[in-house]
Amino acid sequence: MPTSRKPIISGNWKMNLNHFEAIQTVQKLHYSIPKEVFDKVDVSVHPPFTDIRSVQTVIEADDLDLLLGAQHCHWDDKGAFTGEISPAFLAKLDVKLVVCGHSERRDLFGETDEMVNKKVHAIFKHGMTPIMCCGESLDEREAGETEAKVLTQVAAGLAKLQADQVASMVIAYEPIWAIGTGKTATADDAQAVCKAIRGAVGAQFGSDVAAAVRIQYGGSVKAGTTVELMAQPDVDGALVGGASLDPDEFSRIVQFAAD
Ligand code: PGA
């Protein structure tokens, strides 16, 4: 990737680690990443909601270089939405990045492109950065529909955004068949789709925006696959699930991304 885009590695813990475990994990993670690495790569952790306050306190008290993230939010500030999470409340907790449109949210909890777009707007409204996910299923890939699916999701997710917002956000390409399965897209496949996403962003928002937007790959990323992925010109980082639960492995991923 060009040096103008700072790599970003994000750990999506999903529904794992209670708040005690979360505190230990962030402390161990921070300790195992050499300080100077944080100048070269942004690192975010996305704990479950019940952990966020505890993790925020540790990050603040120990002055850790980790960016606090969330995995999801609602688009309204408040109201009668039992069980939902207000983006305004996340911002109050100093959350910097919010994942939205993860395929697990889309497939298991019925999130549509339209809902994802509303969330992206809400995340920006509260001064946070969206990590907007997109990706194709195995059937779609085998039918040769990868680009069509991904670019439709991206266009819908970016609807009615300002160019400077798009330039500042993160898009995560996560082929659904590679998430939690141990199967990774080849670095060439990841590059091809990330390049197509950047091209679509450029066509809609201009080449400066395309050059600035950061695109992550996600799906069974491990330390062993990071170097090749990060060598791709359009891959600017990784959204890491399973491997982010192990501070040693996640730290290696971060350090490889910084090299
Ligand atoms: P995985 O998850 O690394 O466990 O495949 C990635 C993700 O869902 O963000």
Q: For the chain, which residues make up each domain, given as ranges?
A: 8-258
Calculate mean pLDDT across residues 193-198. Answer: 98
The CA distance from 177 to 155, in Å, is 22
Within 10 A of 56 (CB to CB), how many other CB atoms are there? 17
Q: 221 CB under 6 A from ligand 1?
A: yes
| pLDDT value of position 184 | 84
User: pLDDT tens for residues 150-195?
Assistant: 999 999 999 999 999 999 999 999 999 998 898 888 999 999 999 9
| pLDDT value of position 66 | 98
Q: What percent of the chain has pLDDT over 90?
A: 95
What is the average pLDDT score of the chain? 96
Q: 9 CB under 6 A from ligand 1?
A: no
| pLDDT value of position 4 | 83
Calculate mean pLDDT across residues 87-115. Answer: 97
Query: From atom 9 of ligand 1, which residue's Cα is the shortest distance away?
Result: 241
| pLDDT value of position 3 | 46
| pLDDT value of position 2 | 44
Give residue 56 CA to ligand 1 midpoint distance, Å: 23
Q: Which residues are catalytic?
A: 102, 174
Q: 219 CB under 6 A from ligand 1?
A: yes
pTM reported for the whole predicted model:
0.97
CATH number belonging to the domain at 8-258, selected among 3.30.70.20, 3.40.47.10, 3.90.320.10, 3.20.20.70? 3.20.20.70
Calculate mean pLDDT across residues 241-247. Answer: 98
